[in-house]
């Protein structure tokens, strides 16, 4: 049996269910499930709502009841094969009498993988890979965490054409236009943690909330993390009650990410200043760069990134563009560049240079 039009439509619906607003972005993957009759009619739908709640398959099966027998389960992730906070979905599908399972992304976790083989061994018709790329994109931070045991890190900054994030007098308000600022809030909402250093928290006093087109805070707010050892005034906006906040009492990027990962955080949106960005870049811990470039020149002012310990062009850190988008118009036009750092392409002329560059002050 090949993938039918109904199964493809069901998978698209399952992906939409998995992406339901308000579903936690970690530590579990977002998963949706649709049960179909042999004729392609929808029997029931379900999706996972976060750690400790029923998995998508279990949610759909509970809604279907006895009508689940003989159906096709269309699910965005290979059914799990282990007992954690909930039972194995592969066994639940077998117990319900499901006849066919179509999944998108294979489960990359060693402890949970193998559900497809269990189902096949029991006589269930199983097909994987339908809209796998879309499913992997939906759970890219979770998948990254499985592979690397740390959160995915996106560094975002706004800059002039000559690489300045602020003018000589410290003003930076108009480096990014309204369309870019709204786009930044969209990207913030796709992460579960926003991270700044203590210098940014004290000097800029950002609130770091996610707001909509009406400039009102959205219901879902990522964790606001402040990294560094400096004492912070209690009245800083980043410490208010508009969103959860966390102090990371370390200067070490790897230690900060390890603490966040242990708390179930899977996607960090790095919005700190040039020194914090440089620290993460020197450690090879920036996985994606999103920059909004304004078509203006300042000639002086704060650089977008601090010293990286690079002393020769041969040691430059190269970035591979994955998207270029023009936002806004007229004097408020920005170009959004999305790039992937190529740490494997760095040629260091003087080994140890980067290691000798210490942070000049607390983040």
CATH number, position 259: 3.40.430.10
Q: Residue 361: what pLDDT? A: 38
Which neighbouring-strand residues pair with 283?
none
Q: Is 299 exposed, middle or buried (0-12, 13-18, 19+ CB in 10 A)?
A: exposed
Look at residue 123 in the predicted model and tell me its pLDDT.
Answer: 97
Q: Do both 199 and 133 map to the same domain?
A: no
Co-location of 203 and 318 in the same domain: yes
What's residue 346's pLDDT? 58
Which helix (DSSP H) or strand (DSSP E) does residue 336 occupy?
Answer: strand 334-342
Backbone angles phi, psi at 102, to 5 degrees: -120, 120
Residues 221, 319, single domain; the answer is: yes
pLDDT of residue 72: 98
The answer to whether 57 is a known catalytic residue is yes
245 and 331: one domain?
A: yes
Q: What is the structure's pLDDT at 348?
A: 44
pLDDT given at position 288: 98
Q: Are residues 61 and 18 in the same domain?
A: yes
Determine which helix (DSSP H) or strand (DSSP E) holds 282, and give its type and residue range. Answer: helix 274-282
Pair 159, 98 in one domain: no
Per residue in 142-164, is it b (16+ CB within 10 Å) or e — as a string?
bbbbbeeebbbbbbbbbbbeeeb
Let me know if residue 363 belongs to a domain: no
Specify the pLDDT at position 98: 98
Instruction: Examine the domain organization and report whether 100 and 153 are in the same domain.
Output: no
Of these residues, 57, 78, 271, 288, which one is catalytic?
57
pLDDT of residue 4: 82
List the 42-47 sheet strands across, edge first: 42-47, 32-36, 72-77, 100-105, 125-128
Domain match, 306 and 323 both = yes
| Among 144, 174, 204, residue at a domain's last position | 144
Q: Select from 83, 114, 144 the last residue of a domain.
A: 144
213 and 128 both lie in a single domain: no
**Full domain range(s) for residue 162:** 149-356
Are the beta carbons of 258 and 150 closer than 8 angstroms? Answer: yes
**Does residue 185 lie within any of the structural domains?**
yes
One domain for residues 322 and 242: yes
182 and 133 co-located in one domain: no
Q: How many domains does the chain have?
A: 2
Last residue of a domain, one of 127, 144, 161: 144
Residue 269 · residue 192 · CB < 8 Å: no
In a domain, 257, yes or no: yes
Tens digit of pLDDT at every position of the chain (363 positions):
445 899 999 999 999 999 998 888 888 999 999 999 999 999 999 999 998 899 999 999 999 999 999 999 999 999 998 777 677 999 999 999 999 999 999 999 887 788 999 999 999 999 999 999 999 999 999 999 999 999 999 999 999 999 999 899 888 777 889 999 999 999 999 999 999 999 999 999 999 999 988 888 888 899 999 999 999 999 999 999 999 999 999 999 999 999 999 999 999 999 989 999 999 999 999 999 999 999 999 999 999 999 999 999 999 999 999 999 999 998 899 999 999 999 987 544 344 443 333 333 344
**Does 361 reside within a domain?**
no
**Is residue 209 in a domain?**
yes
The whole model's pTM is what? 0.88
- 362 in any annotated domain: no
- CATH number of domain containing 133: 3.40.140.10
Domain co-membership, 156 together with 292? yes
């Amino acid at each position: 049996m090949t993938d039918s039009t109904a199964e493809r439509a069901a998978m698209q619906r399952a992906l939409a269910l998995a992406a339901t607003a308000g579903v936690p972005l970690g530590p579990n993957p977002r998963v949706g499930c649709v049960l179909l009759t042999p004729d392609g009619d929808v029997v029931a739908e379900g999706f996972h709502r976060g750690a400790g709640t029923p998995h998508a398959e279990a949610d759909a099966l509970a809604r279907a009841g006895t009508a689940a027998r003989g159906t096709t389960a269309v699910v965005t992730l290979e059914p799990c094969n282990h007992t954690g906070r909930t039972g194995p979905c592969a066994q639940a599908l077998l117990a319900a009498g499901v006849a066919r399972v179509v999944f998108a992304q294979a489960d990359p976790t060693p402890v949970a993988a193998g559900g497809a083989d269990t189902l096949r061994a029991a006589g269930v018709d199983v097909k994987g890979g339908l809209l796998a790329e879309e499913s992997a994109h939906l759970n890219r931070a979770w998948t990254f965490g499985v592979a690397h045991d740390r959160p995915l890190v996106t560094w975002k900054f706004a800059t002039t054409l000559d690489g300045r994030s602020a003018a000589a007098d410290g003003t930076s308000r108009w480096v990014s236009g309204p369309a870019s600022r709204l786009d930044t809030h969209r990207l913030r909402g796709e992460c579960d943690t926003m991270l700044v250093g203590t210098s940014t928290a004290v000097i800029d006093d950002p609130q770091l909330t996610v707001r909509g087109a009406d400039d009102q805070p959205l219901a879902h707010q990522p964790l606001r993390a402040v990294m560094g050892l400096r004492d912070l005034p209690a009245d800083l906006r980043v410490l208010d009650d508009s969103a959860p906040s966390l102090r990371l009492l370390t200067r070490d990027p790897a230690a900060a990410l390890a603490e966040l990962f242990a708390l179930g955080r899977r996607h960090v949106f790095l919005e700190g200043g040039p020194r914090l960005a440089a620290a993460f870049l020197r450690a090879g811990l920036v996985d994606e760069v999103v920059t909004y470039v304004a078509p203006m020149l300042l000639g002086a002012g704060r650089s977008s990134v601090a010293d990286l310990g690079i002393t020769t062009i041969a040691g430059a850190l190269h970035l591979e563009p994955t998207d270029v988008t023009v936002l806004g118009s007229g004097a408020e036009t920005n170009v959004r560049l999305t790039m992937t750092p190529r740490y494997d392409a760095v040629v260091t002329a003087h080994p140890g240079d980067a290691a000798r560059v210490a942070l000049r002050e607390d983040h």
